[in-house]
């Protein structure tokens, strides 16, 4: 029995050795003992992707050639240079129209003021009666939009703009034309870009951050500061426009926010306004100057603030939330001023 048992074991060992030799099976001696050894011995056989050095420029400085400067300012805005016509565009000589002068105001003595009140009102050029404020026509004097007229007057040093920062409307801080253009364009920045035709040429792109810069199409509101005076010597009510300020609508975080750009002292602006004609939708010959439009009150507006019964010096928008009730309150102020003058008469 023992010999038979030993013979079976010997046959089994020989069969196993033969099988391993046939299939060339080798034991795996590199098996890791634990998970830590597995991670330590794991190798990444993939080739790393070619990445640019953070400190290395996108273009080799040795191959850079001087390029051109590209201004990315929005085209079609305000302040563009309009070429002058080399011939008379009308059938008559209009040189006398350009030489008009504003009529002098009637003198008002402060001692004769029986009543006085300051009114702030806004002109919305989207209203049909105020469409001439946004008329995009062009002539020898440039763009005919009212805001362009203001910019031309500032550029030619005809008037001095004043800062409206912090709600200041007392003409305390003068501004320059460069300050206005920076405000309209936004924050200036430059960036190097490859030339589209030659990759070895780098152009300088002038970029403006327009987040806090107004869109030209959003400047359709103009704020007026007026003083209403009842003169006891003349026994009538006078109104004097003190200043004009364009108001732009800025879209910040998806919300429209009004921003007063600057103030212009209206008496200084009258001489410039007499040189520009207002667009007449019905009759080209029936035009008037912008100075005549303001003095004749040929515009639609709504009151946004008054000095009467306003000890906190706040706008109606801060006192009344509902826009409809704000308009009604503005109409009440107009009616109060009208009734004050009428009630002084005796029949």
- What is the pTM assigned to this prediction? 0.71
Name the 3-class secondary structure at 309: coil
With pLDDT > 70 as the criterion, what percentage of the chain qualifies?
A: 67
Predicted confidence at residue 40, as pLDDT, reads 45
Contact between 220 and 126 under an 8 Å Cβ cutoff? The reply is yes
Contact between 340 and 114 under an 8 Å Cβ cutoff? The reply is no
Predicted confidence at residue 140, as pLDDT, reads 74
pLDDT tens per residue, range 55-107 = 555 545 545 555 555 554 544 466 667 777 888 777 877 766 667 889 899 99
Predicted confidence at residue 166, as pLDDT, reads 92
143 DSSP β-pair partners: 138
pLDDT tens per residue, range 252-287 = 777 778 999 999 999 999 999 999 999 988 888 888
pLDDT of 23 over the 50 cut: no
The residues near 248 (Cβ < 8 Å, ≥ 6 apart) are 214, 215, 218, 219, 221, 258, 259, 261
pLDDT of 189 over the 80 cut: no
Rg (CA), the chain: 39
Q: Give the separation between CA 246 and CA 151, rounded to whole angstroms.
A: 11
pLDDT tens per residue, range 37-57 = 444 444 555 555 444 455 555
Predicted confidence at residue 35, as pLDDT, reads 44
Mean pLDDT, range 146-150, rounded to an integer: 94
Mean pLDDT, range 146-165, rounded to an integer: 94
- In three-state form (DSSP H/G/I as H, E/B as E, the rest C), the secondary structure along 240-297 is EEEEEEEEEEEEECCEEEEEECEEEEHHHHHHHHCCCECCCCCCHHHCCEHHHHHHCC
Contact between 84 and 134 under an 8 Å Cβ cutoff? The reply is no
Q: Give the separation between CA 315 and CA 304, rounded to whole angstroms.
A: 6
Predicted confidence at residue 176, as pLDDT, reads 95
Q: Residue 307's pLDDT band (boundaries 50, 70, 90)?
A: very high
Of 6-15, 17-26, 121-130, 245-254, the least confident: 17-26
Mean pLDDT, range 161-175, rounded to an integer: 96
Predicted confidence at residue 25, as pLDDT, reads 45
Predicted confidence at residue 76, as pLDDT, reads 45
Mean pLDDT, range 133-149, rounded to an integer: 87
Q: Which residue from 163, 125, 129, 167 is spatially nearest to 146, judged by alpha carbons?
A: 125
Average pLDDT, the chain: 79
Q: Residue 187's pLDDT band (boundaries 50, 70, 90)?
A: low
Higher pLDDT among residues 294 and 189, named by residue: 294
């Amino acid at each position: 029995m023992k010999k038979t048992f030993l013979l079976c074991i010997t046959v089994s060992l020989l069969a196993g050795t033969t099988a391993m030799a046939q299939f060339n099976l080798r034991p795996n001696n590199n098996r890791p003992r634990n998970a830590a050894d597995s991670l330590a011995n794991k190798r990444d056989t993939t080739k790393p992707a070619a990445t640019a050095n953070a400190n290395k420029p996108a273009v080799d400085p040795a191959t850079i050639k001087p390029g051109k400067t590209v201004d990315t300012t929005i085209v079609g805005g305000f302040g563009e240079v309009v070429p002058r016509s080399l011939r008379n565009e009308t059938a008559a000589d209009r040189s006398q129209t350009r030489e008009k002068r504003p009529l002098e105001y009637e003198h008002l003595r402060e001692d004769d003021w029986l009543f006085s009140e300051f009114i702030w009102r806004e002109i919305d050029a989207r209203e049909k009666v105020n469409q001439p404020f946004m008329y995009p026509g062009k002539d020898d004097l440039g763009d005919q939009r009212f805001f362009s007229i203001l910019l031309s007057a500032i550029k030619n040093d005809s008037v001095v703009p004043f800062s409206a920062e912090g709600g200041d409307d007392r003409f305390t801080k003068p501004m320059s034309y460069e300050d206005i253009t920076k405000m309209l364009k936004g924050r200036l920045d430059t960036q190097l870009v490859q030339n589209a035709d030659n990759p070895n040429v780098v152009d300088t792109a002038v970029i403006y951050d327009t987040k806090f810069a107004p869109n030209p199409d959003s400047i359709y509101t103009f704020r007026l500061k007026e003083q209403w005076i009842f003169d006891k010597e003349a026994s009538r009510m006078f109104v004097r426009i003190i200043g004009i300020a364009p108001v732009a609508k800025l879209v910040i975080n998806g919300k429209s926010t009004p921003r007063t750009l600057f103030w212009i002292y209206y008496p200084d602006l009258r001489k410039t306004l007499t040189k520009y004609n207002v667009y007449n939708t019905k009759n080209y010959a029936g035009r008037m100057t912008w100075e005549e439009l303001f003095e004749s009150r040929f515009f639609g507006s709504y009151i946004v603030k008054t000095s009467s019964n306003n000890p906190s010096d706040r706008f109606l928008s801060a006192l009344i939330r509902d826009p409809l009730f704000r308009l009604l309150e503005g109409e009440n102020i107009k009616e109060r001023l009208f009734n004050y003058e009428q009630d002084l008469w005796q029949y």
